[in-house]
């Protein structure tokens, strides 16, 4: 069965541009993002990998390691890395898994045969420090991802893991949050000492609690 939110992210050992990766050990106690791309030496993927390299400090600020994957062999990844640096202005600075045996792609259900029976789609898995899958997003090969959106989601996941809040539509770090319905008004008074707005009994907003 395909992986679902709340499942334990499968562990694996696989070669990468930074040597052999033992996935769970590599993530340690932090957060992780595993993302696949369809093929080396392709235009959209080239732009995505350059962008993730550019954003690496932002992922680090969030105690998050990023790991890319494609089914091409390591020698191709290494040759392609030069093109990424040359064309995107950012050198690959995170591991890119080589998955020619499809071991990791199959574990994470990254090949969708009705889209393409050999190449991976653009999957994103966010994995928490407990190694549980917190987010799954899937894009087709033709659409490059918005990694600013992945950072935004990470901010929400990390906030909601620690506070009894949810984040509303289009929320960004620093904006008001929603108090989860399971919290009574009496408990909300204690949990959110800066106060909250009660727009409806089920819709209560408060300042972002960790600021």
Residue tagged active-site, from 21, 34, 45, 159: 45
Cβ closest to ligand BEZ, residue 28 vs residue 140: 140
Cβ closest to ligand BEZ, residue 39 vs residue 54: 39
Q: Least Å distance between CB 47 and ligand BEZ?
A: 8
| Residue 177, phi-psi category: left (phi > 0), alpha (psi -120 to 50), beta (remainder) | beta
**Catalytic residue at 177?**
no
Q: Least Å distance between CB 113 and ligand BEZ?
A: 15
Cβ closest to ligand BEZ, residue 40 vs residue 155: 40
Cβ closest to ligand BEZ, residue 44 vs residue 135: 44
Q: Least Å distance between CB 10 and ligand BEZ?
A: 24
**Binding-site ranges for ligand BEZ (CB under 6 A):** 38-39, 42-45, 141-142
Q: Least Å distance between CB 82 and ligand BEZ?
A: 17
List, by residue number, the catalytic residues. Answer: 45
């Amino acid at each position: 069965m395909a992986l679902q939110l709340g499942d334990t992210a499968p562990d694996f050992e696989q070669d990468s541009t930074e040597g052999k990766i033992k996935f769970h050990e590599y993530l340690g106690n932090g957060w992780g993002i595993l993302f696949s791309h369809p093929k080396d030496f392709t235009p959209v993927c080239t732009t995505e990998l350059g962008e993730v390299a550019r954003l690496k400090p932002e992922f680090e600020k969030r105690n998050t390691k990023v790991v890319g994957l494609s089914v091409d062999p390591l020698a191709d990844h290494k040759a392609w890395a030069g093109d990424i640096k040359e064309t995107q202005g950012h050198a690959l600075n995170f591991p890119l898994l080589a998955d020619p045996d499809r071991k990791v792609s199959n574990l994470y259900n990254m090949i969708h045969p009705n889209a393409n029976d050999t190449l991976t789609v653009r999957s994103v898995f966010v994995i928490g420090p407990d190694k549980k899958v917190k987010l799954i997003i899937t894009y087709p090969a033709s659409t490059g991802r918005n990694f600013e959106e992945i950072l935004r989601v990470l901010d929400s996941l990390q906030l909601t893991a620690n506070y009894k809040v949810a984040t509303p539509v289009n929320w960004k770090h620093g904006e008001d949050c929603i108090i989860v319905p399971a919290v009574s008004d009496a408990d909300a008074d204690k949990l959110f000492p800066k106060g909250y707005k009660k727009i409806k009994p089920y819709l209560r907003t408060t300042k972002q609690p960790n600021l």
